[in-house]
Structure 1
């Protein structure tokens, strides 16, 4: 497949490109609006935005506290295995936060076609970012990481 792309594109940049594509798609195909009662998409997008900020902030803070790398392009440089905070429930709260941001953006755009963006981004991240990261972390932390993977799901 496209393994040569694994861990090559920073996920925040990929999310930004995806958000741009979502806006273009929503403008190009406006005939498929989300059929929600008035104000619901605004409330849902606001809630998702708050959830995303909380997930991202707490995940980054956990890495900063443990003094390990935040670089998703070099997972092999991790110095600590972070398993506290939201990492007790998800192995990827940063990516979960970015997914929530994209979902919030899609809801705010109000077009069903825009919701394809988070789905495509999630598939890309799952296959071309998370799987290679997990291989690197398993090589780096061995049994401790394997046990963590048994306890905690990849997404939720």
Structure 2
């Protein structure tokens, strides 16, 4: 059952909830318009770019992208110079962007809940494994690079 406890599954769940909220919310709560459509599109696009940049960097470094697995290398180059978790940041941007594109401002409340869930279920355990395996290198990386942005 570990395959189901993966970040894309949590993201998909949050996206489905966002869509559901968009379908059920009263139209009087809508804030839509060209500005929110543009912002939503930019967030979704930016999130996808972050995810792709991180995946390419991890592939170049020949380490796993799967959260529950042991990393072969500490990746601190490329997009990982800016964020220790660019894939999770990208997921979050996609979620926020879809809430705006689907005109569901209430669903934006899911964004911090998603971030909290991802941090507790994936980021903290991943960081603990990296801390044990890469010790001083990981400590230096944490001092230079923030967890999210």
TM-score normalised to the size of structure 1?
0.88
* Structure 2 residue aligned with 1:73: 68
In structure 1, stretches of 5+ residues that fail to align are 1-5
Q: Give the unaligned 5+ runs of structure 2.
A: none
1:128 aligns with 2:121: yes
Does the 8 A contact of 2:18 with 2:104 survive in 1? no
Which residues in structure 2 correspond to 1:38-77 (within 5 Å)?
38-74=33-69, 77=70
1:142 aligns to what SS in structure 2? helix
Where 2:26 maps in the other structure, the secondary structure is coil
Q: Is the 8 A contact 1:89 1:153 kept in 2?
A: yes
2:22 aligned residue: 26
Instruction: Calculate the aligned-residue CA RMSD, in Å.
Output: 1.8
Q: For residues 122 and 68 of structure 1, do their structure 2 counterparts lie closer, same or farther at Cα, with a shift above 3 Å needed?
A: same
Deviation string 1:16-49 (CA, Å, 9 cap, x unpaired) is: 011001111222222553435x211110111112
Equivalent residue pairs, number: 148
Checking the alignment, whether the CA contact within 8 Å between 2:15 and 2:98 is kept in structure 1 is: yes
Q: Report runs of 4+ in structure 1 exceeding 3 Å deviation.
A: none
Matches within 5 A, 1:1-156: 9-31=5-27, 33-35=29-31, 38-74=33-69, 77-156=70-149
Q: Is the 2:99–2:107 contact (alpha carbons within 8 Å) kept by the matching residues of 1?
A: yes
Aligned to 1:3: none
Distance 1:7 1:144, change over 3 A: farther
**Residue aligned with 1:155, SS:** coil
Q: Report deviation, 1:111.
A: 1.8
1:7 and 1:151 mapped to 2: Cα distance?
Answer: 32
Aligned 8 A contact 2:50 2:86 in 1: yes
TM-score w.r.t. the length of structure 2 is 0.92
